[in-house]
Structures are given as structure tokens and as C-alpha cells.
Amino acid sequence: MDDVDPFARGRIELAERRVHRFLRERVEPAVHGERRTVEVRAWTVDGEPVPFAEAVAQRFEPFRVGERWGRPWDTVWFAVRGEVPEGWGRGEAELLVDLGFDAAQPGFQAEATAYRPDGSIVKAVEPRNAWVPLDGPGPFAVLLEAAANPVVFTPFHYDPTPVGDPATAGDEPIYRLTTLELARRDTEVWELLQDALVLDGLVAVLPEHGARRAQLVAALERMVDVMDPADVPGTAAAGRAALAPALAVRAADSALRVSAVGHAHIDSAWLWPTRETVRKVTRTFANVLDLIDRDPEFVYAASSAQQYAWLRAAQPALFERVRAAVAAGRIKPVGGMWVESDTNMPSGESLVRQLVHGKRWFLEHLGVESDELWLPDSFGYTAALPQIARAAGVRSFVTQKPSWNETNRMPSSTFLWEGIDGSRLLTHFPPADTYNSDLGAEDLARTERRFAEKGRAKEVLGLFGFGDGGGGPTREMLAAAHRKADLDGSPRVRLTDPATFFADAAAELPDPSVWSGEMYLELHRGTLISQQRTKRGNRHSEALLREAELWATAAAVLRDAAYPYDALEEAWRTVLLQQFHDILPGSSIAWVHQEAERNHARVADALEGLIADALAALGDGGAEPLVANAAPVARDGVPALGIGTGTAPVAATPRETPRGFALVDDALRAVVDRRGVLLSVQDRASGREVLPEGLPGGVLQLFRDTPRDWDAWDIDAEDQRDGVELLTPESVAASGDAVVVRHRFGASSIEIRIRVVDGRLDHAFDVDWHERQKLLKLAFPLDVRATAATSEIQFGHLQRPIHRNTSWDTARFETVAHRWIHVGETGFGVAIANDVVYGHDVRAAVAPSGRPMAVARLSLLRAPLFPDPTADQGRHRFTVSLRPGGIPEAIDDGYRQHLPRRTTVGSPVEPLVAVSDPAVVVEAVKLAEDRSGDVVVRLAESLGGRASGTLRTAFPWRSVAATDLLERVVASTALGRSAPGGSVPIALRPFELLTLRFSRG
């Protein structure tokens, strides 16, 4: 029952209104009360950005405040001149800039870099950080490199827009220069404003009827009473004195402690291309360095070696300032990855190289090694990640993305995350549920509400600063942090770094809870499907990188050929950049995906050249037709990782029957009917039918795809309640060794070549796709009684329930798999492999007979309209195979899809390495990163059991050691004793990852 006096409540509300108006109309304008005009001239680049030296050499024309400027994605340089008057104190003179900002959030619209005449950078100009410090008194000159980045997105508006592609973005200026003037900042008024905003923010979140809230309102009202509205500068000190007692009340002993770390999550590409990210990184680091100079307690954390590398190449002088700040402990490189990558779709070796290249760059160029994994915004986290991270020397993990879950809330904020091999990472979700905090009262109150370990722990992490589009922390955020160091009504705030936070969190919570397995994001499931050409490029590049390293290593150690270190490093870093969590998931503007496709094509050309050179060296002048098998499994008479004579598998010839066409070989019999779908798939050895009676297989299903939010990111379960099955093909006919099915629907067409080859049923799709907001799936009903489906992930596999017993099961309606899934019961199962499909769903169902069955579906294509209205339009190719068998057969078929036959000529080459236990797969063979010539072999146990055997090499070596991913020697129980040049005994735990280094010197 509400027993508070309504009159008292009304009195407080009236006081708040009075305070708010006073701050808005009197105090805020008085911060920069004295202003002067400046001279402005401008030069339009009319194209891609240019360096400072080129810009200042151009002819600048007079420009008036109020004029329009900037076609979409263009750049305008403004040359500003003026004079700071005598009598203005040190640090008072500022250039105020409004480029035409039309939203409060920085990073998503126009922004600028401010330069001195000598080319050194001062700081950035952004919507909520729109000032440039000036020296004085006396003349000054500033050059502003203003980027006319169009507004692609405003929150929860997903209208198709042409501005994401320069070819359709338009030619008219999109901004108006609103403000460019010299102003004198009154420090005392600014400090008064920060005092008042901190207390007023607390008023908004404290209990409505609490004494502390009433105290704060009274203090704020006293501030208004003691000040003269006609002379805010002259009475600001009195106003601060009125607020001081309220600011001096200390926090309760039970208050949480927020380790506040400056941050700016900068998407390496998203609603802007990578070339603009380079400038965003420059602007953000410039802001950070300005704050470091002003505040001795401020510490900033930034991830992504790629972004530091961009800064070093584009702005070497600014990079040297960053390097000095890193050495001083003021900037903390975190994460250790090349970029903040997606973790669902990159291969295991790609995630390894994210850490190898990221950590190596930090060590070589900054002299530091991060032991935190830092992925606050990726769209779910693979269960293989803890092991990969630990193998790279990582001990802790930061993310907040699971707080976006639509259905279920993760049960802990600080916990141990356990991966598929049992490795564990100390993990923390900042309970503010954002990496863009402003340290305001609302964020801190949310932190206190949502911290799951309340009562057991008090240490939490707070990441503050404008992010996504960059910008970083501001002086106002730091002012709030200092005032909340020990303030009643708020968690305590301390400025610190991530390593200090994790040390303190581990000390106060010695026995944290454990989350085992993947951290599935109950949102953004459509990112497994969107922009399939980008995904195909990634899968193909990963395969080519494996081949290029293997054959180049073999050529180096067996034929003394030169190893292409630089070319491989460039290829890897290009591919790693395309795995950024808004590129590979398909959630960027058209420009980004066009660039990604070009990058993958360039990588493919380079790697094909490296492979050809290596195979030619290995061929040693021979002319015998051969097959180069880069897979870790033998195939077609060729050993794993070897080059030899092989026989191409022969496909069955279609035979017409009354029901359609039969495809039969020694292992499999399939029937395709006149609808172009499977009537029967029979395992000939067991006589077992794969399909439930009365249900067709290999059926294309078309669904509406109109998500509630986030077009390219999301698919919604309700859109899949009703769909259309494509059962009326244009034609079904035998052609060579295939049954060819052709469909036309809407504006699209599909050709499917169905073959039976080597006991495997293949569906090869050639799709000319022109649908909009549709989702295309391929469905296989399976006559198996299963409770779970097995999906390949990095360095192993994962079982997921296919029932809907819990809300967690129900929410997991679209899941990631790499090259294969497997659905089975004891003694019988079905493997479904693919060449470039990531989205799958497998659910328990009931057959027409009333018996239980499973339905496995692969998600082939969709066509979202935002942020790229042309997403996925055009030609696509897929191959999907089905085979009765177990997980070993699934693994084999996955490698067949991933690494197709490569023919060559020469002389047979013995495998460089061979492992006696087929459960142990070789995932990488390469030369060491330090260019010593040592051979590095990466192995993984693939079946989820214990494996032991020997590894044999075809090259001499002096010693062998287990290493971490950075190829530094570590202790390992997986490696037995061995003599130089002999066999190497190994014994791996389930899904264990092992890296071996063979020294040949």
C-alpha cells in the first residue's frame, strides 16, 4: 500500500522540474558563455580520403557556417583560423563544432579529425564530444578532416536504404555546418554542471520514497536558490558549495565496486567500410590520448591488433604516442585477437590464427601480451573457444552479448566457462549489459540489479565510452567516475584495468559456478545464413590456406624450396579480417560485402599460385597424373596428407523406373520421383531405409522471412510455421550420371543435380536467387529415434537436444554446424555434410505411421533488406551430401566437401606426417612463425574419446616438443618420449588440441 503523502511526492516532482529547467536554460549555456567568430575555408576531396599532406596542398575556398557540405561517403577539409583573446586562461579556449549532427549517438554519422598546421592530431569531433582545445592567447589554426558518413541506422528502424553502396548513395550534400566558433569554457560552471548531473541522475534511480532521494532533491534545489540566474558564472562556486554535502556522503559498505575501464568497441566494418574504420580508430585514439594527458587515473582498453596495425600504417606519429601510453600502462591492448571475430563460423584453425596473429602483433610492436579474451559483441560463443583460448595463454573472458537473449537469462555474471575438452576460462558479463556505458546512474543501477553474484561478491566490470562507431570515453564520463568513487546511492567506481579487475574477482570468488558448453545467443540466428557469398569465400579461403601451408611445408623440407612466409601471412590476415563479427555473419552494408568478396577472390588467386608452385616443386619434374590429398583422411587410394595415384570415384548411372529414377551403387540405393524429391534412400548393407514411410526427402522449403527486428541478423521461429514446399518442378530428367531437377518460382530458378557416388547421395545446387524476405531450407526427414543431433564445431563436435523440453531447447531453433551434422540411434545413423552451409535445425517429430522420427534441415539462402537491400541476390552454389553411417563417416564426408580432389602431375610424395590412430586428425602443418624452419603440426582428437598412437614424419628432426599456439614450449601429458627422427607417441584426451614443434636445426 502506498502510504506516502501525495503532497510530498508532488513537491519533489515540482522541485525536479525547476532544477531541470535551471540546468538546461541557465547552467548549460553558461559553460561556453563567451564566443567569437572564426574564418572558415573548405576543400572537398570528391573521392576517397587523402593524407594530411595532400589535403593542405589544395586550394581552399571560403565557406560560411550554415552551408551544406559532404556527399555521402565524401570528405571535406575545413581550414579554421581565429585568435584567442588576451585574458583567456590556460585551457579555457575551445573550438566548438557542429557538423550537422542529427542524432545524439556518436559514430553513426558525420565526424572529424582535428589537426594542427604541422599535421599533428589534436582530437576528434563527434556529436557528444564536439570541441577542440586551443592554445592561446593569440592566433590559432586548425584543420578539420570531416567525414560525410551517412546515417544508415537509427535504433529500431530497419528501412531499406541505398546509402550503404557508394554507387547508389546519391550525389547531394547531406550535412549542414551548423556551428564553428571560438568559445571560452568556464571551468567552474562546467564542474558545477557535472556535480548537478551526477546527483540528478541518482534522483532518477533511487527509491521514490527514500530519504537519500529527498536529500538530493533538496540539495539541488538549494543550488538553484543560492545562484543568480542572471550571473551563473559569478555564483557557480556558491552552487557547488550547496551540492558539496550531498556529494560527500559515502557509499554503503555493501555497495558493489565497479572497475571502470575506458573502452570504445569499434566495429572493424559494419555500417561503414574498413577504410572508414581506419579513420574511426585514429579519431578514437586521439580522443583517448587527450584524456590521458588530462586525467592521471584514466586507463583505456582496446582490442584488435588489426586496428593498431591500421593506426601504425595510416598515422605513425599518433601510433608512437599510443605505444608510449601502452608502455606507461595507460592504454591496455586486450583480447589478443586480430579482430573481434565471429566465433560460430570460423574454423578451428582460423580461431587459432586470430590469436596467433593478434598476440604476435602485440608482442612485436607493443611489447605486451594480453591474457584476456575480449568479445563483447559477437553473436554467440562456440564451446571450442575455452580450449583454444587457454592454448594461447588466455585465462579470462569478457562479453556481454548473452544479455541480449530473447528468452532465457544466463544464470551468472562471474563464472567459469567450460569447453568441450574440459578447459575453463574465468568469464565475466559486465552486468550493465552494455560495452557503451556512460557511468551514468541508470547504467550503474542496472549493474546492481543484474549482478547475479550479489551477496557472494562485489567486484564487477564497467566498460565506459561511446562504441560501435567509436569515439570512446569523454571528459564528462570521467567526471562522473571521480564523483562516484565513494558516493551514497551508487556503486563505488574505480578507474582501473581489466587485469586488476579479474585478479580481484578471482580472489573474492574462489569457487565460481560453471557453465559447460556453447554460449548460444538467443538472437541473431539469421547471421548463420545472410550474405552467402561472403561465407563461401571464407570457407574456400580456409581450405586453400590449409592446402597452401601443407604443400609449401612439404616443398620446403623435402625439396628445399623457399617457404612463402610473407604471402601466407598476408593471406591469413586478409581472411581473419573478413571474419569480423559483422562481416562473416552478413550484417554489414553492401560496400563491406562487395569488398569481402573481392578480398576472398584475391586471396584465392594468391593461394592457388602458392599451391601450384609447391606442387610443382614436389613433383620434381615428374609427369605422372596424381592426386594431392590435403585432407587428414585417406581417400580414393591416396593417403592422408599425401600425393599419389588415385582413382576417381564413379557415380551411379540413373535408371528410369515407374516412380522416377533409381540411383544405385554397391552401398546405396536412392529413388528420385517426378516431383524431384527422394522417395527412398536405402542403406544396402543393412537394408535400412533412411526416410520415414510416406515422407519425401531432399525437399526445398520456402518460408517468409520478416523478422521483428534486425533484418540481416534475425530469423524468427513464427515465420517458419507455414511454408511452401517446392514439389512442382519445371523438369526432372536424367543427364549423364545425375538426375537433374529444375525449379522456377517467383523471380528465381534452381537446378539440382542429384547423384549417388561412393555410397554417398549428393545434391549439387545452382541457384539464381532473386527473392526478397524469403528463407530457403532443404529438409530431410529421417527414420531414426534420436534425442540429440551432433554438429561439427571447431576441433570437435557438439550434441544438442532435438526436443523442446525446456525454454532453452525451444529457443535453440537454428544452430551452427560446420561441415557436417549427424543424427542417429544406437546402431544406425545418418551423416549430412555440406560445402558451405552453417545454419541448421534438427527437431524431433512424428512420422505418418505414428512413430518418432527426426527432421534435419539446412538453411541455404535468405534475402534481408537491411542493411543491404540487395543481399544475396544472384547466383549461388551449394553441395549437400547424405550418407548412412556414423560420426567417422560424417567427418570423412565433411573433409571431402571442404577439400575436393586436386589433380597434379609429378612423382608420388609420402605424407609429411601420418598418425596411427584415425581418431586423431591433423588440422595444420606449417613452418614455425619465427621463421626458424621448424615444422609445426597441430592435432586434435575428433571423436570425443581418448586416443593414443604414434605420429610418423617423412622428414628428419632433432627434437620435438609440445607448444602453446604461439609455438612456445609447454609441458604436456599428451606427448610421450621419442628419439630424434623416430616415431612420436601421443595420447590425447577427448577433443584435446595438441601443437607439436619439430626442430630440424
Q: What amino acid positions are annotated as catalytic residues?
A: 377
Cell triple for 150:
551517412
DSSP state at residue 65: T
Return all residues near 923 (Cβ < 8 A) that are at least 6 apart: 348, 349, 546, 632, 795, 938, 939, 940
Q: What is the full DSSP assignment across 412-439?
A: -SEEEEE-TTS-EEEEE--TT--SSB--
Instruction: Give, to the nearest 10 degrees, the angle between helix 565-578 and helix 305-314.
Output: 110
DSSP state at residue 205: H
At residue 54, what are phi and psi to the nearest 5 degrees? -70, -40
CA dihedral 905, 907, 909, 910 (to 10 degrees): 140
Q: Are the beta carbons of 183 and 34 closer than 8 angstroms?
A: yes
- Residue at grid coordinates 564542474: 191
Residue 616 burial (C-beta neighbours within 10 Å; 0-12, 13-18, 19+): middle
Q: Are the beta carbons of 902 and 895 closer than 8 angstroms?
A: no
Classify strands 874-884 and 34-36 as parallel, antiparallel or unpaired. Answer: unpaired
Angstrom CA distances, 404 to 159, 258, 377, 875, 917, stand at 22, 21, 10, 34, 43
Q: Are the beta carbons of 780 and 822 closer than 8 angstroms?
A: no
Cell triple for 366:
607493443
DSSP state at residue 203: H
State whether the Cα torsion 585-392-431-288 is positive or negative: negative
d(CA 556, CA 570): 19
Coil vs helix vs strand at 99: coil
Cell triple for 782:
529421417
Cα 375 → chain centroid: 7
At residue 196, what are phi and psi to the nearest 5 degrees? -65, -40
Q: Per-residue b/e over 342-363, b at no fewer than 16 CB within 10 Å?
A: bbbbbbbbbbbbbbbbbbbbbb
Q: Are the beta carbons of 89 and 164 closer than 8 angstroms?
A: no
At residue 408, what are phi and psi to the nearest 5 degrees? -120, 145
Q: Are the beta carbons of 856 and 780 closer than 8 angstroms?
A: yes
d(CA 399, CA 403): 9
Query: How many residues are listed for the chain in this entry?
Result: 1001
- Residue at grid coordinates 550484417: 587
Bridge partners of residue 81, in order along the sequence: 39, 141
